[in-house]
Copies of this chain bind each other. A is one copy, B any other.
Amino acid sequence: MVQSSQHPVETSPADSPDGEVMTKVEALEVSLSPQERFSEYLQTRGLRQTNQRKFLVEQVFAQHDHFDAEELIDRLPRRGEENYVSTATVYRTLRECVDAGLLNCFQLDGRTVYDHDYGYPQHDHLYCTQCRKLLEFQSDELLEIRDKMAAMHGFRVESHRMIIQGVCRECSRARRKKRKQDLV
């Protein structure tokens, strides 16, 4: 079976229904908006400020969310509608956003997932293998270990990617409930 096209991705909820400790990943203060930052990037490289690029960056930063190309395309205007952008241009622009430092990307289940980088602090992910939701977490200790391990091996760190796979609270609950029902 091939991955379905349903990949709900959400950020960590601010509240904790169980009253447990929750780290919340907050937006950072930045002097330039993502749009301005991208504009700067384009100018530096002698690239052009097109309507498609402006529109895409605006859409990408309209909500803080993880997404893949397909999800982005799904919420953009269709062919024939105003502001339609072709698939090729979407892929090309996503790559530029990564180069510009606006987005991060990583592979998950064979698709490329994009994540806001600019104006957002470093973080890692918890991935629910049941509902495919992505939660974020932050850990300075993790960074320390990363740097220590890299140093041990003479590595100069550029970046890292940590994904914890498992089952989220909601899916665990749903499963327990189901098991209970199955017993009846």
Residues of A within 8 A of B (CB): 12, 18, 20-23, 107-108, 110, 124, 126, 128-129, 135, 137, 139, 141-142, 145-146, 149-169, 172
Instruction: Give me the 3 closest cross-chain CB pairs, A-B, nearest first.
Output: A154-B169, A107-B107, A162-B162
The answer to whether B163 and A160 touch across the interface, beta carbons within 8 angstroms, is yes
The answer to whether A154 and B23 touch across the interface, beta carbons within 8 angstroms, is no
Known: A21-B152, A157-B164. 20 other contacts (CB 8 A): A18-B154, A22-B153, A23-B152, A126-B150, A126-B153, A126-B155, A128-B155, A145-B145, A154-B172, A155-B168, A156-B167, A158-B165, A159-B165, A160-B162, A160-B163, A160-B164, A160-B165, A161-B161, A161-B163, A162-B163
Query: Residue among A22, A141, A158, A164 with the most chain B CB within 10 A?
Result: A164
Name the B residues within 8 Å of A166 (CB-CB): 150, 155-159
Name the B residues within 8 Å of A22 (CB-CB): 152-153
| A26 → chain B closest CB, angstroms | 16
| A69 → chain B closest CB, angstroms | 13
